[in-house]
Amino acid sequence: MAVGLQNLAKICSTNIVELKFVRRNKLRIPPTRRMLCTLDSILLNSDAGKNLLNFRAPTKPPRYNAAARGLLTVWDIIMQDYRNIPADAVEVVSAIPTRPLASFLKFFNQRLSKMSAMEKLAFMEK
């Protein structure tokens, strides 16, 4: 389902969200990308967020207003870095609640911790 910027931010604030979107750079192959991301500050700032997801708080403000460009800045769980995603070209595939933290840990241990680098790449390009 496609959602707007505010709704996407709300979903990401309490979930691990699987997204599929059209890349802004149309020359990239494949032209779409899948991502697992979150904006859950409780999860990201927890020991699990820092140790399992390698979350780090921003050290300086962004160079531009992402929202003014229709972008949402999220924590990319697989690439373990910040990413801007185009809210007008995104499809929410699924949402996994991050609370209680045990829900996230179960998801992480069953699905993410066992993924090899090649499996992660295949997931993003699928």
> What are the beta bridge partners of residue 82?
75
Report the C-alpha dihedral over residues 15, 53, 46, 101, rounded to 10 degrees: 40
Spatial neighbors of 41 by CB under 8 A, at least 6 apart, are 13
Give dist(CA 37, CA 35) in Å, integer.
6
Give the pLDDT band (50/70/90) at residue 2. low
Give dist(CA 54, CA 80) in Å, integer.
6
Span 50-97, pLDDT tens digits: 999 999 999 988 899 999 998 999 999 999 999 999 888 899 999 999
**Is it the case that residue 1 has pLDDT exceeding 60?**
no
Spatial neighbors of 47 by CB under 8 A, at least 6 apart, are none
**Is it the case that residue 104 has pLDDT exceeding 90?**
no
